[in-house]
Amino acid sequence: MAVFCFTAWQVLILPGLLTLLPMKYKLLGRSGLKVSELCLGTMGFGTEGGWGADAAASFTIMEKFAEAGGNFLDTANIYKLGTSEKIIGEFISSRDRDFFVIATKYSLLDNTTNPNASGNNRKNMMRSVEASLKRLQTDFIDVLYLHIWDDLTPIDEVLRGLDDLIRQGKVNYAAISDTPAWVVAKGNTMAELMGWSQFIALQVEYSLLSRTPEHTRHLRIHEGHCTYLLDEERPLLTPNLVRATTVVGTAEECIEQIRRLEAAGVTQLVVLPGLGHQEAYAERFARQIIDRY
């Protein structure tokens, strides 16, 4: 399911579009969370950097959006140095908090006090969430996104931290942004096996100019595992985006399974060497699959 994110200025410029067409609600990813099919991006809430909407204009934008039935607000700890979250917090403090679905993000540097004030690590995650809760003036975040993959933190550390926040009631759902598909597939497979909360949504650049999500076909070697992504003609912004199927066996067995699964429409596979293969042989094993397939 795709949810389209509009900027604040588009809400002001195209108010007629929001009032003439009834807002529809869709389930976010594989969750039961109902969100408006238009999500309001709030990166421009605040005037830091010499541009953006001040608090009064931001309130007007959110009022128009809510009046049209919009309930999905997207922000981040780093947007306007935290001002975006503060404005949203002030807005919802006098309104029905449960009507709104607030998504925010962590990862990017929002202060220079210590070396762990950025990144996907658990320490930064917990610190960032506590600060976002204060700025948003709320007890919980509906959707918490990992903002961008740092290529450093183990995915299990990320998932366990997000699961702990969900169990604590500080976050309702986990999501991920700007991260390679093979990392998302590996993470959700691990979460399913461990009984942790899975990513319900992925936020990536997708537009008329950027069609990269539609054209993925490569094999990535990481920690002895091979992730094989199959082409598909439709965008990857579908439920299949976060479904992974594991293929285990010899190169010949994997090729046979890959062909069968590809015909069935599976778009993401985690290919593991059969028993007896050591991690040092993972790349050679993966290359055999590529060459023969």
- DSSP 8-class letter at 264: T
Longest dimension (CA), the chain: 65
CA dihedral 139, 167, 246, 206 (to 10 degrees): 0
Catalytic (active site) residue 145: no
Helix (H) / strand (E) containing 285: helix 282-292
Structure tokens at 251: 């190169």
Q: What is the CA radius of gyration of the chain?
A: 21
> Contact, 137 vs 155, CB < 8 A?
no
Q: CA-CA distances (angstroms) from residue 160 to 1, 64, 199? A: 26, 38, 12
Q: Which amino acid is at 205?
A: E
Say which of 79, 106, 145, 228 is annotated catalytic: 79
CA distance 213 to 203: 11
* Residues designated as active site: 79
